[in-house]
Structure 1
């Protein structure tokens, strides 16, 4: 992956996986690049997304499941990850 700014979104309640597949289904030429999952003995349920990188039609995104449960359902902000 070339170096660039990547939009990073945080989800709760195991919604990162569903959101990622939803975005992939909307755009042609989309692909999942990498998925890292939480393992055993971590602060979040095993198998949830620690970090996923995917590309819906040429735009890179990172998604993750937040391990603390917040008062909000979806992140009230967007983070930009610079490699």
Structure 2
């Protein structure tokens, strides 16, 4: 298979198909593609799902049932950029449902251990504002949050 760009491979321990279906249900422009199964004589159980190709939010992935040897950690995360509080609330709620856990500054871990950053679109511009006091206020506000609060970030940026 030839493709432009990258395809991200996510390593699971038996939940590849379930995870792919979950991510497809969370994001628009998403679908499950080809599913391959372990053949006889392979390291996996013959007939069990080996890998699931899927697209989530236009990004291509492969979910691999590789076993328990490797797990996810916060060293890698996916950023979901949101234009308003409604989008932030939607993605945050969906990604933490059924066992996920919220973290600081818009970060969360989903039920599979994958890390996400649910980010306000303007945040990068705000924390790098040319006026240091604006950037400091926004950064201080963000550091006190779990799920990002757009109104509070905007107020910090404007000095209200």
Same fold (TM over 0.5): yes
- Per-residue CA distance 1:42-72 (angstroms, 9 max, x = gap): 21112333222111121111110114x42x5
Q: Which runs of 4+ in 1 moved over 4 A?
A: none
Alignment of 1:47-66 (within 5 A): 47-66=47-66
- Long gaps (5+) in structure 2: 77-160
8 Å contact from structure 2 (residues 16, 51) kept in 1: no
Distance of 2:4 and 2:45 partners within structure 1:
31
8 Å contact from structure 2 (residues 54, 61) kept in 1: yes
Between Structure 1 and Structure 2, how many residues are aligned?
Answer: 74
In terms of fraction of residues, the more helix-rich structure is 2
Alignment root-mean-square deviation, CA: 2.2
Question: In structure 1, what is the equivalent of residue 10 of structure 2?
Answer: 9
- Long gaps (5+) in structure 1: 79-83
Alignment of 1:2-41 (within 5 A): 2-12=3-13, 14-41=14-41
Q: What TM-score, normalized by structure 1, do the two folds share?
A: 0.70
SS of 2:47 mapped into structure 1:
coil
Distance of 2:11 and 2:28 partners within structure 1:
24
In terms of fraction of residues, the more strand-rich structure is 1
Distance of 1:52 and 1:39 partners within structure 2:
15
Distance of 2:72 and 2:44 partners within structure 1:
17
